[in-house]
Structure 1
Amino acid sequence: MPESKPRKKTASTAPQASSQTYKPNPVWFKPVMFGLMIIGLFWIITFYISEGRFPVQAWESWNIVAGFGIAIVGFLMTTRWRS
C-alpha cells in the first residue's frame, strides 16, 4: 500500500510569533490590588464589629455591598496581573 506524502508547512500553518509583547505591571499595581482587597475586608469587618455604626451609618446594610465592591475590584485586578 502506498504511503501518503507529508504536507509542506506553509506560512499560514506555521506557528506565528505573537505580535504583542507583554510588559510587566507598573510598580504600584500590586500594592493597589492587595490594598483594595484588604480595605474591602476591613470595611465589612468594621461594619459588623461596630454593629452598623461605622464606616457609614446612613448606608445601613449597603456597607456590606460597598465592602464587597471594593474587594471585588481588587480581585478583578488579579486577572491583569503579570510578573
Structure 2
Amino acid sequence: MPKAKVSKDYRPAPATETAASRTPVKINTGGTPLWYKILMFGLMVLGLAWLIVFYVAGDKIPLMMDLGPWNYLVGFSGLVLGLLMTMGWR
C-alpha cells in the first residue's frame, strides 16, 4: 500500500496559540424571566379558553353575543400573541 506524502514545510502552531484558541468560553445568556413565561402561556391558554367558551356557551353570554364573529379575533389574538412571544423564549 502506498504511503502518504508529507510536505516538508509543515510547522505545527506554538503551544500557547493552540491552548488559547481552544479554551471554551461560557456565554451567559441569562434565560427568560418567569413573568415572560407566565404571560406567554397565559395568553395562549386565555385565547384557547375564549374560543372554547364561545363555541360551547357563546349564545348564553351577553358579551359574547354582542361581539358576534369578533370573538374569533379575540381568541386568535391571544393565541397568536402567545405564539409570537415564544420566539423570545431562551
If the length of structure 1 is used for normalisation, what is the TM-score? 0.66
Map of 1:12 onto structure 2:
none
Map of 2:69 onto structure 1:
61
Pair 1:23-2:27 in alignment? no
- Structure 2 regions of 5+ residues with no counterpart? 1-6, 8-24
Which stretch of structure 1 is more off in the superposition, 35-44 or 56-65?
56-65
Runs of 4+ in 1 over 4 A off after TM superposition: none
User: 1:20-66: per-residue Cα shift (whole Å, max 9, x none)?
Assistant: 96331112111111111000000000001014443532110110111
Q: What is the root-mean-square deviation in Å for CA atoms of aligned residues?
A: 2.8
State the aligned residue count.
Answer: 73
Distance 1:69 1:41, change over 3 A: same
Q: Distance in 2 between matches of 1:62 and 1:53?
A: 16
Map of 2:43 onto structure 1:
36
Q: Is the 8 A contact 1:52 1:60 kept in 2?
A: no
SS of match in other structure, 2:38 = helix
The percent of aligned pairs where both chains have the same amino acid is 37
Q: Is the 8 A contact 2:58 2:64 kept in 1?
A: no
Select the structure of larger CA radius of gyration: 2
